[in-house]
Chains A and B, each alone.
Chain A
Amino acid sequence: MTIYILRRLAFLGLTLLLTSLLIFIITQLLPGNVCRVILGREVGQAALNACRVDLGLDQPPYVRYLTWLGDFLRGDWGNSYSTDAEIRPLVTGRLGNSLMLAGFTMLVGVPVAVALGVIAALNEGRVLDNLISVAALAVVGLPEFVTGIFLIQILAFRLGLPANSSIRESAGFFEALPSLILPALTATFVLLAYVARLTRAGVLQELKQAYVRTAELKGLPRRTVILKHVLRNALLPTITVVAISFGWLISGLVVIENVFNYPGLGRLMVFAITRRDLPLLQAISLVAVLGFALANLAADLLYAALNPRIRVGQ
């Protein structure tokens, strides 16, 4: 098991390295004059040259990559091109907000989604399952911005919840709570549909396994068979499903934050794109990737701990 953990950590490090390289290549090395992109079309050659030196573009690529990576790891994330503000406090502040939203969503959404998936699977083919499955399918098809706007129409205008969730940068949890509700609800909605569908498939798969027959033929009551045997094993694929939904959540939050004007990383990222603010974009990407990778690592370790094949080995 320890070997497994070490291997996973090494793998994590490698992936992060490769991904940071990828981010660097996309933003810095791809053809096209970066300086021209940043400064616009009309600037003169002198300004372009100054920009090149300023960005260190006259250095060979690997040096640039290493300096960039080194700086980042030391905490120097540079300054934003468009606002000239220091990037790190900006990003970490927004990160906090996004985490609040994500955390709230996962905490509420995941247990409900898993429960719905399990209920649907245990009632396969019957009314309850059809209801849940169809509803899930419908919601999955709705893009987040559609759901968000829809919810705004229904809830904000009727119930008076804030449609616009701009909150102060450093707002604490309770202060931000009213503004969190609608975006969190939107995110939860879609997360529910996604996770419920996959959980349902996973539980159905477990129900077909031969050990269920063995358990039933022992004479165990149905409830024990489901709880102690089926669900215990269905836990494993569910962890995988939840891990996959992290990725969706990160993507989805970008859109949701924009729908509700919520000051998180997602909004910042779109802002960075419209201003062609590459350093800001790089920093946000790295942070997002790091978060995603860590979340996946946590899921992997949990999976390994619960799966006897890995925990105990051969």
Chain B
Amino acid sequence: MAAQKPLLEIKDLTVSYRVGDRTLDALQEVNLSIRPGQAVGLVGESGSGKSTLALAVMRYLPANALTRKGSIEFAGREMLALSQDELRGLWRRELAFVPQNPATALNPSMRAGEQLAEALRLYGSTPEEARALSIDLLKQVRIADAPRVARDYPHQLSGGMQQRVMIALALSGRPKLLVLDEPTTALDVTTEAVILDLLREAAAQQNTSMLYVTHNLGVVAKLSDRVAVLYAGELAEDGPTQDLFRQPLHPYTRGLLDSVPRLGQRKDVKPLQGIEGALPALGAPIDACVYAPRCPLAIEICWQKRPALDAPTAQRAVRCHRWPEILAGEVSANREPTIRLKTAQRTAEPVLKVNNLEVDYPLPRSINEFLSRAPRRAVQAVRTVSLVVNSGQTLGIVGESGSGKTSLARALVGLAQPHAGQIELLGLRLPVRLNQRSRELLSHVQMVFQNPEEALNPYLTVGESLARPLIRLSGQSAAEARQRVPGLLAAVRLPADYAGRYPGQLSGGEKQRAAIARAFASQPDLLLADEPVSALDVSVQAAILNLLAELQLEQQNALLLIAHDIAVVGYLADQIAVMYLGQFMQFSPAETIFDPPYHPYTEALLSAVPPPDPFVQQEQIRLEGELPSAVDPPTGCPFHTRCPRFLGDICVNELPPWRETKDGKRIFCHIPLEELERTQEPVLLFGAKPAGEL
């Protein structure tokens, strides 16, 4: 393998963007090489320049991009010197691209099959051959009923299907190199798992190289042979996956690895360590290490001289002054946790009790329905949900898109109206309409929303936004509120002078902190957090999660944490509820959720999440089919249409019972517990054998 000439060789690549009258560097002297048949994962957070690198390799940068320096050699040819026609030739046969958002990447007025056939005709097939071949390609990407999908328009397909079509398209020319830019970020984890499977398969079959750009360390651990880490436009580190994960040499890599919650990692056992600070603003290159402001190991030379790209071994590269010390184990970027987090005590008072809550969104009626007096159809987002959360306790609700978890949160906080069921807060019935809730009641329930960019009013200063709940809910005067604001900021580790700033001047993480401060201002007994970190970079997530836990320790509020990432939920929560199509499938103490017995859906979920650890063995349970429509949910057990352990008619006709296990779980399933315990293996085994050698 070492003797093979690289398929792709990037040397000293520097790309800038012309913005207004300035030129800003997005990539600085990046080196990367990919061999035939090799999969390279390019890891970076937002602003690292990874998408720019992907598009640079494709030679499809926007008009205001300048490739100022460096070279990109593909199959021996210098790409920067190629003409448009020559590039087109490459795009047909040797290079292919899979973008992040398949919905916009497909032509909305062309049938899916035709979009494939068009490419095939271009590559030399006759129209009949192209039609047949396009159906074959769709089958290859595991699309059941390929002829029907070929006839469909993109808007009729789900996100997962659309992306499969894009992958089929990318593979249609049998490319030597596949460049993928976050292809599964917008997909559910169970769908992502299938896509990753078929990518690995297809790459192996056709000996295709891959450049897989992502922020997700789990995906690179699973899929790639080598990992390259990008920070602020520079290559921080590069090496074989296992080596890099076992011993990262760059403090940033170490920081990233420590920021990602592993499955099974608990806040009281091993707190996450984020990376402090934020990405530097784009500007002129400086002669210092670009990571120094955030690096726990920075010494004087780091601020004075830009580190060169060294090669500790033949296969590794790192841009850090201190790598020899790190390699020898003399220093470590690992820091001691500064906070001690605890799990909730068992004997606390219930704060929230929900009984048989149902939330649906009525659909507009068509004329037919109106005339035939058919009952109004609705999207049944939440169907018969009951739960209890105690003070000081965290209940984590994990579910994929369509599970209804957000609707549940909105109903609890008053933004959506349930049509059945009761909500009890501190023993009092909570009115379903916001305007029926007294200020007192409102002050007890607050929420942190998903999108930090829209969390704060951009026309008010941070201080003004924080003062509002104090004035409105806690009944303070404007002057009193203003005095309290610095305290709120301090609680979320923001400097007091931020009170005078506008949200536009804050980073994403800082905005989310301000939003959390605002939510805690009225000292709520119940805090709902709906995907509080999913829109943030990994390095920032840890700080926010720890902050939520710390504040909870102080205030002893109940926390209802909603997320699609089971590792995040497993980290913070005391109790976890798994939700599917509007109903809970399983309740479990956080300590035992990763051990059997599992609800079959939990089992599938756990086997789909790619762990950021190449040494983990993971079951490969995959779900067939698509999520059923919430307008017409399946009868009986909602999961029966996709359940790998489907029993039979009983699952279709009857609602499952709740079964209690010895380790404190409650499972909503017809399968007897003994059966589950007998047949289920732990989904994850943390061991020494690398995943690829299963």
Contact = CB atoms under 8 A, between A and B. Distances in A.
B108 interface: yes
A213 B88 CA distance: 12
Contact of A220 (B122, B169, B367): B122
Given A3-B368, A308-B153, A232 B109 contact: yes
Interface in A194-231: 209-211, 213-221, 228-229
Given A3-B366, A218-B91, A308-B155, A213 B105 contact: yes
Given A308-B109, A308-B153, A217 B367 contact: no
Given A6-B367, A312-B156, A217 B107 contact: no
Nearest to B85: A221
B106 interface: yes
A7 interface: yes
A7 B89 CA distance: 49
Contacts of A274: none
A228 B109 CA distance: 10
Interface string B650-680: 0000000000000000000000000000000
A214 B107 contact: yes
Interface in B70-95: 88-93
A214 to B, nearest CB: 5
A1 to B, nearest CB: 13
Given A210-B99, A213-B60, A218 B119 contact: yes
B97 interface: yes
B641 interface: no
Nearest to B91: A219
A211 B122 contact: no
A240 interface: no
Interface in B232-289: none
A229 B107 contact: yes
A210 B104 contact: yes
B118 interface: yes
A217 B96 contact: yes
A45 interface: no
A307 B153 CA distance: 10
A309 interface: yes
B58 interface: yes
Contact of B60 (A10, A216, A221): A216
Contact of A214 (B89, B99, B109, B368): B99
Interface in B632-648: none
Contacts of A232: 107, 109-110
A236 B101 CA distance: 22
Nearest to A222: B84
A228 B58 CA distance: 23
Interface in A6-26: 6-7, 10
A217 B109 contact: no
B106 A211 contact: yes
Interface in B93-140: 93, 96-97, 99, 101, 104-110, 115, 118-119, 122
Contact of B367 (A7, A211, A215, A219): A7
Contacts of A215: 107
B60 A211 contact: no
Contacts of A214: 99, 105-107, 115, 166, 169
A217 B108 contact: no
A225 to B, nearest CB: 10
Nearest to B59: A217
B578 to A, nearest CB: 28
Contacts of B58: 217
A49 B108 CA distance: 65
A79 interface: no
Given A211-B104, A214-B169, A229-B107, A219 B92 contact: yes
Q: Which has the most chain B C-beta neighbours within 10 Å: A209, A211, A219, A228?
A: A219
Contacts of A314: 155-156
Contacts of B97: 213, 217
Interface string B38-81: 00000000000000000000101000000000000000000000
A233 interface: yes
Contacts of A220: 88, 118, 122
B122 A233 contact: no
A219 B156 CA distance: 26
A216 B91 CA distance: 8
A218 B367 contact: no
Nearest to B97: A217
A211 B96 CA distance: 14
Contacts of B96: 217
A104 to B, nearest CB: 31
Nearest to B179: A217
Given A217-B91, A219-B89, A309 B107 contact: no
B92 A213 contact: no
Contacts of A3: 366-368
Contact of B153 (A6, A228, A312): A312
Contacts of A309: 108, 153, 155
Contacts of B101: 210
Interface in A278-314: 306-309, 312, 314
B112 to A, nearest CB: 11
A287 B90 CA distance: 60
Contacts of A236: 109
A152 B624 CA distance: 73
A211 B105 CA distance: 4
Contacts of B105: 210-211, 213-214
Contacts of A221: 88
Contacts of A7: 367
A216 to B, nearest CB: 7
Contact of B118 (A10, A218, A307): A218
A309 B88 CA distance: 31
Nearest to A306: B109
Contacts of B60: 213, 216-217
A209 B104 contact: yes
Contacts of B88: 219-221
A10 B104 CA distance: 33
A211 to B, nearest CB: 4
A205 to B, nearest CB: 12
A220 B368 CA distance: 45
B108 A308 contact: yes
Contacts of B99: 210, 213-214
Nearest to A311: B153
A217 B299 CA distance: 46
A314 B152 CA distance: 10
Nearest to B115: A214
Contact of B122 (A210, A219, A308): A219
Contacts of A216: 60, 91
A29 to B, nearest CB: 32
Contacts of A211: 104-108
A314 B631 CA distance: 13
A110 B599 CA distance: 63
Nearest to A236: B109
A3 B371 CA distance: 13
A218 B108 CA distance: 16
A209 B108 CA distance: 11
Q: Which has the most chain B C-beta neighbours within 10 Å: A3, A215, A217, A221?
A: A217
Interface string B347-367: 000000000000000000011
A81 B367 CA distance: 44
A10 B367 CA distance: 10
- Shortest 9 CB-CB contacts between residues of A and residues of B: A219-B92, A219-B91, A210-B104, A308-B153, A211-B107, A219-B88, A210-B105, A218-B119, A214-B105
Given A210-B101, A218-B91, A233-B109, 12 more contacts: A3-B367, A3-B368, A210-B104, A211-B105, A213-B60, A214-B115, A218-B122, A219-B92, A229-B110, A306-B109, A308-B155, A314-B156
23 contacts: A6-B367, A209-B104, A211-B105, A211-B106, A214-B106, A214-B107, A214-B115, A214-B169, A217-B91, A217-B96, A218-B122, A219-B90, A219-B92, A219-B173, A220-B88, A220-B122, A232-B107, A232-B110, A233-B108, A308-B108, A309-B153, A312-B153, A314-B155
